[in-house]
Amino acid sequence: MDLPASNAGPAPRHGDRAPRALFLVFAGIWVALAIAPRYRQDWLLENVAVLLAVPMLVWSFRRVRLSNASYAAIFVFLVLHEIGAHYTYSEVPYDRWIRSLSGFSPDQMLGLTRNHYDRAMHFLYGLLITPAVVELLAARAPPQGVWRWILPVSFVMSNSVVYELAEWAAALVFGGDLGVAYLGTQGDPWDAQHDMALATLGSVVAMAWIGVRSRRHPHASALPVPGSARRGH
């Protein structure tokens, strides 16, 4: 089984509307959640990566055009990240929100004693960012054979390692309550390992889904994988 060829590349102007709309919506959400975050200093640290990633996405839009589905997946991840930055990851009241909407408490049902928003976000990083990684590799460094399946997961794993090292370095530099809030370990000595494992699992799930879609629709664009035959253009 092989991955579909990438259609990443310069985008036709009529196809720009969706990514531009996502960017504008995200900008509005970012501004709204930047107002009175629970811990301003932690919010600033959490947004360092965003302030690097979003301009890079804008700059690369004409150079490496990802599919609209990949931009949508990145958008969802960034919005959820901004919610985490606004409240600080260990204090996002997701359980209260779900209870108020449905009367159902996931924490109570699963017997959870810590806030698992950060765990979910690491899994979603692997799940939602992997499609864009597949397209980026296909456009700029096309792997062959089984490496087309291994390298996207390896890329996500390495990103996760770098992020955990950056968290550790920031905690050492800033220390105190800010360092603790940014790390968000909540007393788990294996927090970094759990986070990296979940990001890897999310990436593996994404690649498995991509494989199923490419098998079922070998000649069509398999959401969120690019699928048209523009290879070599």
Query: Residue 226's pLDDT band (boundaries 50, 70, 90)?
Result: very low
Q: Choose among 227, 195, 4: nearest CA to 90.
A: 195
- Please give the C-alpha separations between residue 148 and each of 18, 128, 139, in angstroms, as whole numbers: 27, 17, 12
The count of residues in the chain is 233
Residue 95 domain-assigned?
A: yes
Q: Determine the Cα–Cα distance for residues 165 and 176; give it in Å rounded to an integer.
A: 18
Residue 159 domain-assigned?
A: yes
Q: What SS3 class is residue 199? A: helix
Residue type, 142: P
Q: Determine the Cα–Cα distance for residues 127 and 227; give it in Å rounded to an integer.
A: 19
The token pair that represents 175 in the structure block = 């220390």
pLDDT score recorded for residue 227: 37
What average pLDDT score do residues 86-112 get? Answer: 90
Whether the pTM exceeds 0.85: the reply is no
Q: What is the mean pLDDT of the chain?
A: 84
Residue 40 domain-assigned?
A: yes
The percentage of residues in the chain with a pLDDT greater than 90, rounded to a whole number, is 58
Residue 224 domain-assigned?
A: no
At a CB cut-off of 8 Å and minimum separation 6, what does 154 contact?
Answer: none
- Residue 4: asked if its preceding bond is cis (omega within 30°), the reply is no
Q: Return the CA Rg of the chain.
A: 19
- Please give the C-alpha separations between residue 218 and each of 4, 5, 91, 95, 193, in angstroms, as whole numbers: 7, 10, 44, 40, 36
Residue 230 domain-assigned?
A: no
Residue 228 domain-assigned?
A: no
Q: Determine the Cα–Cα distance for residues 61 and 149; give it in Å rounded to an integer.
A: 24
pLDDT at 176 over 90: no
Cβ distance 62 to 10 under 8 Å?
yes
- Please give the C-alpha separations between residue 89 and each of 63, 72, 103, in angstroms, as whole numbers: 34, 22, 23
Residue 53 CB neighbour total at 10 angstroms: 13
Residue 231 domain-assigned?
A: no
Domain of 127 in residue numbering reads as 13-216
Q: Determine the Cα–Cα distance for residues 206 and 202; give it in Å rounded to an integer.
A: 6
Quote the number of domains for the chain.
1
Lowest mean pLDDT segment, chosen from 90-94, 143-147, 217-221, 224-228 = 224-228
Q: Determine the Cα–Cα distance for residues 148 and 2; give it in Å rounded to an integer.
A: 8
Cβ distance 89 to 117 under 8 Å?
yes
Residue type, 215: R
Residue 82 domain-assigned?
A: yes
pLDDT score recorded for residue 174: 75
pLDDT digits (tens, 9 = 90+) for 51-93: 999 999 999 998 999 999 999 999 999 999 999 999 999 899 9
Q: Choose among 87, 167, 86: nearest CA to 122.
A: 167
